[in-house]
Structure formats: structure tokens, C-alpha cells
Amino acid sequence: MSNATRIDGKAQAESLTAGITDQTAQLKSDHGVTPGLAVVIVGEDPASQVYVRNKGRKAEACGFHSETHILPADVAEEDLLALIDDLNSKESVHGILVQLPLPDHLDEQRITQSISPSKDVDGFHFVNIGKLTAGHTADAFVPCTPAGCMLMIQDALGKDLSGKSAVVVGRSNIVGKPMGALLLAANATVTTCHSRTSDLPGVVRGADIVVAAVGRPNMIKGDWIKPGAVVIDVGINRIDVDGKSKLTGDVDYEAALENASAVTPVPGGVGPMTIAMLMANTLRAAKLSAGLSAG
């Protein structure tokens, strides 16, 4: 029988959002500043619509000013850029998020780089990526998913990861690369793996911390997990089980429980923390815009 802890991302996110709600009320009463989040969605992708609704609801629950801008799937790139330009200069908006993926005719890089770095609560602007990589995060925004993963890792292992070996499977700009930078900043020894890595099982077996972010269902097997490792599963994959659609991660969860000391489930692990960190980044952006410490 497994002794692994199921990392409850939902409970951790709720506790985080309770603190954000209190700090928001304080910011309003002490400085007259209400954090504002603007979410832009292009087209009618059902999954994106659910995410956007959840983000808007969470922002309102925290006491934020919340705006959602819904644009048609065939919107001209110049019109989207004009909207972002307006939001960049709007004083009531501290955080801007453009929901990805975008339709093929839009240049994703051009769009994400047009958001002011001081309002880039997704942490995708090259200025914020550079600050994270250089370790200057006091006034930078860290991408929400890796930031949430890091809190869960530190909750399990403490803030200083000296002597710990961490393996990140996946090298995306949204999760894999920033995750590596955060783990390095916490003194872990980091290996980033990807589709070209030879002997992936062997590499993963050496890790005290495994972060899986590849988007392939149950790819990381239970016997790849070192006894006592902490496993963070970022993957959200929809698979068909007996004619029903089911969500599963990149890690074979039940099998990982046999070896790991702690594992995030899918759903209920990383997902809720991502939205909580978006709220935390928006609150930080509001504080920084008012000339306050973002701590």
C-alpha cells in the first residue's frame, strides 16, 4: 500500500486566494487601488471559454475589477493589437491576458510581446522571461503554472532545494523553461528533458523532483519514479475510457503513488494553482503600479 501524499492543489489554491482577497481589500482601503484584470479571448474554442470564465469569476471573487473582451475568430491582427494598446494605457487594468492558443492567422509572438511587461501577468514577455532567467524577479512576472508548481514543491520539500536533483520533462516557454529557472534559483540541480533525450526513464529515475509537462497521457510510468520523489504533473489530456471522456495527466498517477512521497492528481493539482497565481500576479501588478512593494 502506498504512503504517498496526494498534493491537494485545490486546497492550496483556496488558501492562497483567501490571502489575495484580504490583501486586495487592504489595498483598496489604504490606497484606493482596485486590481484590474482584462482577459482577451479570440474565437469560440470551448476549452478556452471555460478557462476564461473561471478566471473572470475568480478575479471577481478576489474583489478585482474584471473585464473580458471576446473577439471573433477572424479578427484582424491590427484590431487585436489596437485593443491591447488601449488596455496597456488603461489605468483601471493592471493585468492583461490573451488566452492561447490563437487562430492560425494571428502571430502569437507579436501579440504576446505587445502587452506591456508591467501588465504581462502571464509572464510571457521577453522582458519578464529575461528577468526570471537572470534571477531578478522582484518586479518581474513569473508564468503562472511554473510559479504554482514551485509553491507545491516548496510546500513538500521546503524553500531551499540544495542537494535535490530535479528533472523537468518538457521544454516549452510556458512551463518547461521557466520551471527550470525557478528550480535553479532554489538551488536544485536541474535537468531538462524533451523528445530528443535518450534514456528518458533512466534520467527520470535519478530525480528527487519530477515535473512532467509534455502533453502525453500517462507517459511517465510508475517504475520511472525514484522512491520518495515529489512528482508534479502539469499535463491535462483528455482520453477515452469505455466510451467516456476522462482527464488524465502525463504521469501514470496510481502507479506513481507506489514510489513517490507526494504526487499531484489530475484534475485537482496544478490547474487550480495556475489560476491562483494569475490572481497573485495581478495583485502584484496593481501594487507595483501604485509604487508599493510587491512582497
The domain spans of the chain are: 32-117, 144-271
Tell me the backbone φ, ψ of residue 149, rounded to 5 degrees: -60, -40
Domain 144-271 has CATH 3.40.50.2300: no
The number of residues in the chain equals: 295
Write out pLDDT tens, residues 101-141: 999 999 999 999 999 999 999 999 999 999 999 999 888 99
pLDDT tens for 262-290 read: 999 999 999 999 999 999 999 999 999 99
Active site residue 55: yes
Residue with cell 474583489: 63
Is 155 assigned a catalytic role?
Answer: no
What pLDDT is stored for residue 2 in this prediction? 64
- Given 99, 131, 177, 287, the catalytic residue: 99
- Which listed residue (12, 23, 120, 122) is catalytic? 122
Q: For cell 538551488, name the residue.
A: 187
Q: Is 104 among the catalytic positions?
A: no
Predicted local distance difference test score (pLDDT) of residue 139: 87
Residue 234 cell numbers, joined: 502539469
**32-117 and 144-271 agree in CATH topology:** yes
> In CATH, which of 3.30.70.20, 1.10.150.120, 3.40.50.10860, 3.30.470.20 is domain 32-117?
3.40.50.10860
Sign of CA dihedral 122, 108, 266, 43: positive
Rg (the chain; Cα; Å): 19
**pLDDT at residue 1 is higher than 50:** no
Q: What is the pLDDT of residues 187-237, one digit of tens each?
A: 999 999 998 999 999 999 999 999 999 999 999 999 999 999 999 999 999
Q: Which residue in 71, 142, 60, 59 sits closest to 111, CA to CA?
A: 71
Cα torsion for 172, 177, 178, 182, to the nearest 10°? 150
What pTM does this model have? 0.95
End-to-end CA distance of the chain: 42
CA distance 7 to 209: 14
Q: Indicate the Cα dihedral angle 271, 5, 245, 194, nearest 10°.
A: 70
Which of 235, 275, 271 has its CA nearest to residue 97? Answer: 275
Quickly tell me which residue has 509572438 as its cell: 109
Q: What is the pLDDT of residues 165-183, one digit of tens each?
A: 999 999 999 999 999 999 9
Burial tier of 272 (Cβ tally within 10 Å: 0-12, 13-18, 19+): buried
Angle between helices 270-289 and 46-61 (to 10 degrees): 50
% residues pLDDT > 90 (the chain) = 89
| Candidates 55, 177, 226, 287; catalytic one | 55
Show the cell assigned to 285: 501588478
Q: How far apart are CA 20 and CA 58, in angstroms?
A: 11
